[in-house]
Amino acid sequence: MNDKCRQSGMWLILRGQESQIHWASASDDPSTMELPDLVLMAASILGFIALCKTLVRLVRWAWTMFLRPPKNLKEYGSWALVTGSTDGIGKAMAFELASKGLSLVLVGRNPCKLEAVSNEIRERHGEGVEVKNIVIDFAKLSEEEIARRIDEGIKGMDVGVLVNNVGLAYPYPRFFHEVNLELMESVGRVNIGGTTWVTRSVLPGMLKKKKGAIINIGSASVWLQSYPLATLYAATKAYMAMFSKSISMEYRQYGIDVQCQFPLLVATKMTLIKRSSLLIPSPETFSKASIRWFGYEHECTPYWPHSVQWYVSSLLPNALLDWCVLRYFLGMRTRGQAKERKKSRVRVLVRPTAMLKKIFFFFFLLLLFTY
């Protein structure tokens, strides 16, 4: 670099390297600069632009995560429908929506659990929040029956928000050939059928009034290059991501905001994680973050530590990520298999005890009648 450049320049240290930005003054004539100086200047300008871009992204991230006011969900309609609302994220989401003053249609497979959740919501939120239950086992009912029950259940209601949350994963990770046929069918029916058919039933009402929000709970597994030992689950979530993206494009013009959320781990019965932490939130913490995003971008990771986790892991080489996921799931598989063996051993032990009881009872009756 020549002396003239050195004197008139402003120097910055970028990324620990001695990269120097020279802001050419009016007297600098690029035609008189040497080639290395020009290259250095171009690199510095590019570095500066990259830095600005990163800063803008950071500010935007902070705005969307913490500062942006959430939408008034009641403007979409007075009712919200949540599938899989008897446990985990869906249950927490139902409470969160009720706290925003929305009445609820709860969809679940277990009538007792549905009743318990709706009573709890009524007790906590009083008369202002109406709750209606629809019993559907997505793994067992036909598509027509699912659509019929939803159509009948929401007839005449102003459903403004739909949360397609219902989801099913394997009880523990396993190789594809180890998934039995029943489980295989259930994962497809619940994850794909559940979302598709409920959306199909709720959409016409939203279209009529030209507003609505559809939130699909996907999974961050779709961002990874592979998701071994949970193959079917990840494949159904990939369907969900594409389904969301496409219907978002179709219905945006009709005032319907479709969004797919991509959570990482949440402490629910699906993940078998009981204790929550900053990185693995409780369903309640996750739902609070999730609802703030309803109606905005068509894709998001609403809980901020999840998005930081995702950013950090996206910097790692894909091969390393693949290896980590495989190791993690192999460990879970071994623990799951051990638990299953223990359970079946207990069952084997219990069975002879029951048998012995019957024999004793028989001899007791025999003795009673002989004397």
Ligand X SMILES: NC(=O)c1ccc[n+]([C@@H]2O[C@H](COP(=O)([O-])OP(=O)(O)OC[C@H]3O[C@@H](n4cnc5c(N)ncnc54)[C@H](OP(=O)(O)O)[C@@H]3O)[C@@H](O)[C@H]2O)c1
**Site residues for ligand X per CB under 6 A:** 84-90, 108-110, 113, 136-139, 165-168, 190, 217, 219, 263, 265-266, 268-271, 283
| Residue among 205 and 302 whose Cβ is closer to ligand X | 302
Least separation, in Å, of the C-beta of 175 and ligand X? 20
| Residue among 259 and 268 whose Cβ is closer to ligand X | 268
Which DSSP category does 17 fall into? Answer: B
Least separation, in Å, of the C-beta of 164 and ligand X? 8
Least separation, in Å, of the C-beta of 230 and ligand X? 10
CA distance 260 to 172: 25
Least separation, in Å, of the C-beta of 274 and ligand X? 12
CA distance 242 to 98: 29
CA distance 93 to 300: 16
| Residue among 199 and 219 whose Cβ is closer to ligand X | 219
Helix (H, G, I), strand (E, B) or coil at 217: strand
| Residue among 186 and 248 whose Cβ is closer to ligand X | 186
Kindly list the catalytic residues. 233
Residue 260 · residue 244 · CB < 8 Å: yes
Amino acid at 300: C
CA distance 133 to 119: 11
Residue 344 CB partners (closer than 8 Å, separation 6+): none
Residue 218 · residue 237 · CB < 8 Å: yes
DSSP per-residue codes, 182-198? HHHHHHHIIIIIHHHHH
| Residue among 77 and 263 whose Cβ is closer to ligand X | 263
Least separation, in Å, of the C-beta of 97 and ligand X? 15
Residue 212 · residue 294 · CB < 8 Å: no
Handedness of CA 231, 167, 278, 274 (dihedral sign): negative
